[in-house]
Chains A and B, each alone.
Chain A
């Protein structure tokens, strides 16, 4: 069937600058560039270009430019090009449209409507270059009260705590979705910086066991690679109920991505689909969740915090209350903009709620019920910079997870082709020719640099507010004000309007 789909991008080559070195053709995994021997010329198939900029970045003479196809449809506010083109794709395939990364639509991003405070005159700001600044965060259940003996030693027995040097962890990204080199980059960066990375639901490659102290191991509906050694190796075990990019549905890792190594780690035969069912069939209620939480506590001898991750949905606050009462030591909320290696586009773009609202309502609800101390709150889904991190902490988060930001640090250009397994940056693929493009020495450096930058910026912001510990900002919504928000939005966020 002839496709009616117009090319998304145009590849422009400056023939004056092109030296026919074929780097573009070698780098492009979507067959957009090729060498025509008859004409002795580099040529391209623009219709294959996904706009990932791999060729532009690696062209040694700067001869390439990739632009959006300037072809214009007749103006129509309702029938925007994306909707027209999705229909064309479905008319030609008859299938559910898959995509990668997170929601790219225009639902309000509340971080952009929140501003932070700073000290002026009445209390001094603090210079983080001169004075110590504390970003240390402990994840885990905190006691209702503590008692001290006569020598002021702690008598209360504490639940297991995990110390983070920065309140920023790497989101769950499974091996199989991304390559082993990406996992190693994340694991090494987390170890160097003193934070955690997360295996996702595809198990942990034995090569990475040595980073166990900085590893969160997921137990999801597919239970891939979940065995005693996996649970013993990790510092935190996380039950994954849902994720922001696809709330309520499972995951289908296509058989083509289940290579020999992926198959060994997931413990399934090579080439079969790795199907994660939509629910975990041993969890149909809060009571069932409690049962799995305590099964994992039993399995790990009560020395590891058990985390539970859900997608942020309408009733998150009530669900979170149940999760905490079920025994979760950490709850993870993944918002509307949370990303993924593959999701039905219609679900990514239409299901779930913005993380800012979910966080504010969950934190408020747990405080009202007097159980906020019983679990740490971690949020994810669209954290773009340290400003978002500071605002999340002020809204009540103990820490945040970054996924997309970490992948961008490794080269990702958000071309949303993760589900094809052809990632030209070598990130979201199991093709051994491509995975070599992420070198763990360089990858871990880039990730550690990112966390280092954000830490410095967080300290600057804290100093500006006149506080010297992140703990003083945590849940301190008086340090936030809202811009351009309705009374209802301000009310849910628990934040006052700027100027008030």
Chain B
């Protein structure tokens, strides 16, 4: 069973005195989608780098506490991360989208038919099969983001980490991505996603982690995003924020559907 466990984890980037993560404890199991929300700089991206075993191993810096990951290995059955800057994640060594997506699986040393199967499936899941022969450098930002995500999923990781995965996507692309996140969890993968797309989370996340200045201030169901404290911190859903700004009483509705129900019963 896939499981990521962080126990009292603190992390300092190189040459900094203030921890980017401070005493964070979190368990994420296969089948679960956990969303990290917070202001820019609150620690969500850092938590993903730690979960991906990139910090401090690649990034440098110093970690305290314990990080434990049970998957099956690296790449396949391991951890995959989608960075917030897709253009930095292109291999630069592929002339076609298909080859770009195959780059990770090929480096896992898989047999050719396994690579083909996983790449084709990943392209289909990201709805970019039509782009397979295009040169990566000619893609739009949203297309490139889908290609990068396909490349990570093609390695079949057990833990998938997404940092602002919808930032470059159009609304249809964002809907596709959020459906994909749910279906990854349904397959038993553990998913952690850092996002500012708060309005998407009620339908996507099992749990929400509110990060503030590196600390996990609160962990709970997506209904957190309608709580007064989160609204005040700029982390409420738009519906909750409007309700609160209109001076209507608590509880604030989380979604449009909740608002309609509350409105009828008032």
Q: Please indicate whether A and B come from the same complex rather than being unrelated chains.
A: no
Interface residues of B (CB under 8 A from A): none
